[in-house]
Amino acid sequence: PPGPYRFSNREYLIITYRTDPQKLRDLVPEPLQVCEPLVKFEFIRMPDSTGFGDYTESGQVIPVSFCGRMGSYTHCMFLDDHPPTAGGRELWGFPKKLASPTLRTETDTLVGTLDYGPVRVATGTMGYKHRAADLASVKASLADPNFLLKI
C-alpha cells in the first residue's frame, strides 16, 4: 500500500564494536566522515509494519557525520521477507538483501543470529531484561538521520 508507513513494537539487539579505523574509512563513501572506528551490528524484530507484515532484519550501521551533522550510514541489511526487502531498497535506498536473521528469547537470554544460505554470519546474545534502557537516549538515537547514498 502507499505510505505513510508505521513500524510498531520493534525489538532491537544492537552490539557496538570497534574496528580498524582505516578499513572503516575505506568502506564509508565520501562525503560521509567516520567519527570513531565503531560499527553497530543490529538484530531487529519488526512484528507490526504497514503493508510489510512481520519480519526480522539484521545488518551493519556505521555512525558518521555529514556536513557536521551526526547520523548513520547503513552498510548492509539482511531481511527474511521479500516485500520489506524490496520496499526498503526501492523506496528508500537501503542496501537490503534476503537472508535468514532471527531475534528471539531463549529463557533468560536474547539471541540474535544471521545466516546467509548455509553460513552463520553473526551471533549476538545478551541478558534478557536485566536493565531498562534509557528511553530518552533510545528515542534520540532513532531520530538521527540515515545517510543513504547512490554510489
Check which CATH number belongs to the domain holding 53 and give it. Answer: 2.40.400.10
Q: Which of 108, 101, 102 is nearest to 126 (CA)?
A: 108
139 catalytic? Reply is: no
**Residue 26 resides in a domain:** yes
Supply the mean pLDDT for the chain: 93
- 3 vs 108, more confident: 108
Kindly tell me if the per-residue pLDDT of 97 is higher than 70.
Answer: yes
Sheet with 109-116: list strands edge to edge.
Answer: 100-106, 109-116, 119-127
User: If pLDDT is split at 50, 70 and 90, which confidence band does 129 have?
Assistant: confident
Asked whether 56 and 76 are in contact (CB, 8 A), the reply is no
Residue 136 grid cell: 530518552
DSSP strands (E only) in the chain = 7-8, 11-18, 33-34, 38-49, 53-66, 69-79, 96-98, 100-106, 109-116, 119-127
* pTM, rounded to two decimals: 0.90
Total count of domains within the chain: 1
Residue 141 confidence (pLDDT):
82
CA dihedral sign, ordered 44, 46, 52, 56: positive
Question: Looking at the predicted structure, is the pLDDT value of residue 151 above 80?
Answer: no
Given a contact cutoff of 8 angstroms between Cβ atoms, the answer to whether 70 and 61 are in contact is no
Backbone angles phi, psi at 48, to 5 degrees: -150, 95
Give a yes or no: residue 1 inside a domain: no
> Active-site residue among 96, 97, 129, 139?
96
Q: How far is CA 34 from CA 1, 28, 72, in A?
A: 36, 7, 10
61 assigned to some structural domain: yes
Is 147 a domain residue? no
Render pLDDT for 39-84 as a digit per residue (tens, 0 to 9): 999 999 999 998 899 999 999 999 999 999 999 999 999 999 999 9
Identify whether 122 is part of a domain: yes
pLDDT tens digits, 13-24:
999 999 999 999
- The whole domain housing 112 covers 7-142
Residue 48 belongs to a domain = yes
In angstroms, the CA 125 to CA 94 distance is: 25
The answer as to whether 15 is a domain residue is yes
In a domain, 2, yes or no: no
Cα–Cα distance between 60 and 77 in angstroms, integer? 7
